[in-house]
Chains A and B, each alone.
Chain A
Amino acid sequence: YQTFDGDLKWDHNDITYRILSYSPDLDASIIDDAFVRAFKVWSDVTPLTFTRLYNGIADIMISFGKKDHGDFYPFDGKDGLLAHAYPPGEGVQGDAHFDDDEYWTLGSGPAIKTYYGNAEGALCHFPFRFEGKSYSTCTTEGREDGLPWCATTADYGKDGKYGFCPSELLYTFDGNGDGQECVFPFVFEGKTYTSCTTEGRDDGYRWCATTANFDQDKKYGFCPNRDTAVIGGNSEGEPCQFPFSFLGKTYTSCTSEGRSDGKLWCATTSNYDKDSKWGFCPDKGYSLFLVAAHEFGHALGLEHSNIQDALMYPMYKYIADFSLHQDDIEGIQYLYGPKTGPDPTPPKPSTTTTSPVSTLKPTKKTPNTTPSTTPTTTPSVYTPVDPSVDPCKVDKFDAITEIQGELHFFKDGYYWKSSNRGNKARKGPFMVSERWPALPAKLDTAFEGSLTNKMYFFAGTKFWVFTGKNVLGPRRIEKLGLPVSLKKVEGALQRGKGKVLLFSGENYWSLDLKTQQIDKGYPRHIDVTFPEVPMDAHDVFLYNRNYYFCRDIYYWRMTSKRQVDKVGYVYELLNCP
């Protein structure tokens, strides 16, 4: 292994990263997950932790780009250079760039996540059979609305499991169209467009308007690539047109004719000689996970290794069951030392099907029809959550708080809602990451600011402040004036306007939300102000003007006159049967 001159490394172990853009090749959730796993390669063997930021400047800023993409190191079209990253430091240092003229997959061919349908977001299964025919790509057969779909098992006729494939008719990503699907035709600079276009851009990304008139509404999004789309060339995103003629000869499949590099290509119109529109045919693609893990090695301070099996070897090689080579381990531990102690992150639900942030999601919309022999099913927009998670069996919630009149119960990345007004039916589980992206699965405390409706979350020694979906943080709790030695904040009680009492162990502090600082005269001992409640409460919250102190499955309710008037089961608050 090699390190950069002067052993360049981060001077802190809590590294932050931010994903600035996505590739049209993969669903955002698959990209997010690939990056999470790539960081985990390094955090598994060092004391480093990686936290995702959704705005602001992170240590490692991740983006996709093509050719000249804003630094002095342009990419070179399909194949050749795949990505690059900069060693630790300020500015562009630490950043990782991925060449979007590559076909990004998980390394073994198209990884097509489905939407809606009845497969709960499973990947397409290729090939699959449908009405006696085998399909190796998404198809519009059996539908009249042009929406491509696929089966998620080998035989649609037998299992009936299906979902819709990425297409601009289903959703867009990035941009400002909130993930809405394209509206065709749309008007851009007075001209009408009936398909996605690269007009008006010099980076080659295909976009569309999400209303009928871009000039008027300025709403747009980028078009996801269909699985049949060509890569690179001058027709990125368009499907091959078969048959097509090239140098007077007719081709019914991809060919390497006319090229010295043997790469397969096709025309995207019926006549290459006349239109010169072409692109490379989809292949196995490059594993975003493997390339990202390599690039993050650079971003952490490793140079290329000359060991051929090491992750930091400069050439790409697909490995199905990846494990970090000893050379890489020695290299990264030379910089940051070995991992010590147990993993601080508790087990949490699998992230492999985590949804992208909400702005990238398809809108809540049911496709008009389903494949011809399929019964109508309820569309699933949100990430499927394991329905077996029963809140009425949770023996200790991470946090409980009232938000907009409803009690919210948090546990391991999920939350449930209940109310003692109107419909008392319990709602959930919901995923915390859907509503408040950036938060860790394990929370200690949450509360809603009484003046601004901002949401405050505490986990360990960090806290986050949400205004809607916008987040500030994570910041360290000592920034609020809490002691550096404090391990976590376990509860919160809003008092009056703009004050919150924060609880930890047997002490509490008064936080002024306006100044974001702890008031003088704190900490105080719980016993003095709140007698007759347990000293080891792990959840403290305000609900219906009463104070609640929880220990395991029990709560102590205290009135505003500081009298404990009831002790009960937490499940009662959750409206459990």
Chain B
Amino acid sequence: WCHPIKTIFVTFPGDVIKNMTDFELAESYLKRFGYMEILDKSGQQGALSTSKALRRLQNQLGLKETGKLDQPTIDAIKTPRCGVPDVRN
């Protein structure tokens, strides 16, 4: 009787926020708020690596710049926020 209870996650109808892993959530966040794709000096559109994009995000949000998806960064991207992009290309 002391076995841990296995948690079952349910897909709730009409729920826009799907069950996502932290990494999936971070990737979609970085894209949505302008951190992944940037214009270079010649005006060409280029994609940053996730690590570089995370650094930009951490810099913008005043977090320690680790380039990694650490707990403070996960907490930050789960915080409710304004929908206006942080980085405008």
In the bound complex, what is the Cα–Cα distance between A249 and B13 (angstroms)? 19
Please name all residues of chain B whose beta carbon is closer than 8 Å to the beta carbon of A308 when the two chains form the complex: 61-62
Contact A84 B83, CB 8 Å, known A258-B9, A308-B62: yes
In the bound complex, what is the Cα–Cα distance between A454 and B42 (angstroms)? 61
Q: Choose among A77, A101, A247 the residue that contacts B8 (Cβ–Cβ < 8 A).
A: A247
Please name all residues of chain B whose beta carbon is closer than 8 Å to the beta carbon of A102 when the two chains form the complex: 80
B79 within 8 A of A: yes
Q: Choose among A5, A78, A258 the residue that contacts B88 (Cβ–Cβ < 8 A).
A: A5
Please name all residues of chain A whose beta carbon is closer than 8 Å to the beta carbon of B2 when the two chains form the complex: none
Interface range for B: 20 to 34
Please name all residues of chain A whose beta carbon is closer than 8 Å to the beta carbon of B10 when the two chains form the complex: 247, 258-259
A76 within 8 A of B: yes
Q: Which residues of B29-88 have CB atoms within 8 Å of chain A's CB atoms?
A: 33, 59-62, 76, 79-84, 86, 88
In the bound complex, what is the Cα–Cα distance between A259 and B11 (angstroms)? 8
CB distance from B9 to the nearest CB of A (A): 5
In the bound complex, what is the Cα–Cα distance between A304 and B62 (angstroms)? 12
Contact A306 B59, CB 8 Å, known A79-B17, A265-B12, A315-B76: yes
Q: Is the CB–CB distance between A259 and B9 below 8 Å?
A: yes
Please name all residues of chain B whose beta carbon is closer than 8 Å to the beta carbon of A76 when the two chains form the complex: 16-17
Contact A306 B61, CB 8 Å, known A4-B88, A83-B82, A258-B9: yes
- Report the count of interface residues on A (CB-CB < 8 A): 43
Q: Choose among B7, B9, B14, B62 the residue that contacts A306 (Cβ–Cβ < 8 A).
A: B62
CB distance from B27 to the nearest CB of A (A): 15
CB distance from B26 to the nearest CB of A (A): 14
Contact A83 B88, CB 8 Å, known A234-B13, A258-B10: no
Please name all residues of chain B whose beta carbon is closer than 8 Å to the beta carbon of A303 when the two chains form the complex: 84, 88
Please name all residues of chain B whose beta carbon is closer than 8 Å to the beta carbon of A83 when the two chains form the complex: 82-83
Q: Is the CB–CB distance between B84 and A233 below 8 Å?
A: no
Q: Which residues of A310-358 have CB atoms within 8 Å of chain B's CB atoms?
A: 314-316
Q: Is the CB–CB distance between A82 and B84 below 8 Å?
A: no
CB distance from B24 to the nearest CB of A (A): 12
Q: Is the CB–CB distance between A258 and B82 below 8 Å?
A: no
Q: Is the CB–CB distance between A258 and B15 below 8 Å?
A: no
Q: Is the CB–CB distance between B83 and A75 below 8 Å?
A: yes
Please name all residues of chain A whose beta carbon is closer than 8 Å to the beta carbon of B17 when the two chains form the complex: 76-80, 261
A486 within 8 A of B: no
Q: Is the CB–CB distance between A85 and B88 below 8 Å?
A: no
Please name all residues of chain A whose beta carbon is closer than 8 Å to the beta carbon of B83 when the two chains form the complex: 73, 75, 81-84, 99
Q: Is the CB–CB distance between B14 and A286 below 8 Å?
A: no
* B positions within 8 Å CB-CB of A: 7-10, 12-17, 19, 33, 59-62, 76, 79-84, 86, 88
Interface CB pairs A-B, < 8 A, 27: A5-B88, A76-B16, A78-B17, A79-B17, A80-B16, A81-B83, A82-B81, A83-B83, A84-B82, A233-B14, A247-B10, A258-B9, A258-B10, A259-B9, A260-B19, A261-B17, A265-B12, A286-B80, A294-B82, A298-B82, A304-B60, A308-B61, A314-B61, A314-B82, A315-B76, A315-B80, A315-B81
Q: A4-B88, A234-B14 are in contact. List 18 more A-B contacts (CB 8 A).
A: A5-B88, A81-B82, A82-B80, A82-B81, A83-B82, A84-B82, A101-B16, A232-B14, A247-B10, A258-B9, A259-B9, A304-B82, A304-B84, A304-B86, A306-B59, A314-B61, A314-B82, A315-B80
